[in-house]
């Protein structure tokens, strides 16, 4: 699914990630990011871009985005040395 939010949507960073990581997420969501729904939790998503994964929750009540975590995406086996 494509997840898109307004540029003014508030992103709350619960783990104090670097500002550039939060800004990257903001730009992804403003332009429309491919998001994978968490099958175990409603309103939770993973978004991957340029080798980084963002784990977020979008509040169904306020629309606020909560950045819960981010990590480097695993390298596919075909690219591993």
Q: Which CATH architecture has domain 2-74?
A: 2-Layer Sandwich (3.30)
List all residues 6 or more positions away from 53 whose beta carbon is below 8 Å from its beta carbon. 46, 47, 70, 71, 72, 73
- 78 pLDDT higher than 90: no
- 58 pLDDT higher than 90: yes
- 77 pLDDT higher than 80: no
Taking only the tens place, the pLDDT of each residue in 38-49 is: 999 999 999 999
Report pTM.
0.88
Beta-strand ranges (E) seen in the chain are 2-3, 11-13, 33-37, 44-49, 52-58, 65-72
The domain spans of the chain are 2-74
Percentage of the chain modeled with pLDDT above 70: 95
């Amino acid at each position: 699914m494509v997840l898109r939010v307004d540029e003014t949507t508030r992103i709350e960073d619960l783990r104090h990630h670097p500002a550039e990581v939060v800004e990257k997420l903001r730009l992804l969501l403003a332009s429309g990011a491919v998001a994978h729904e968490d099958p175990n939790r409603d309103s939770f998503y993973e978004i991957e871009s340029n080798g980084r994964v963002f784990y977020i929750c979008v509040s169904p009540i306020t629309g606020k985005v909560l950045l819960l975590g981010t990590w480097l995406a695993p390298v596919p086996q075909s690219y591993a040395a």
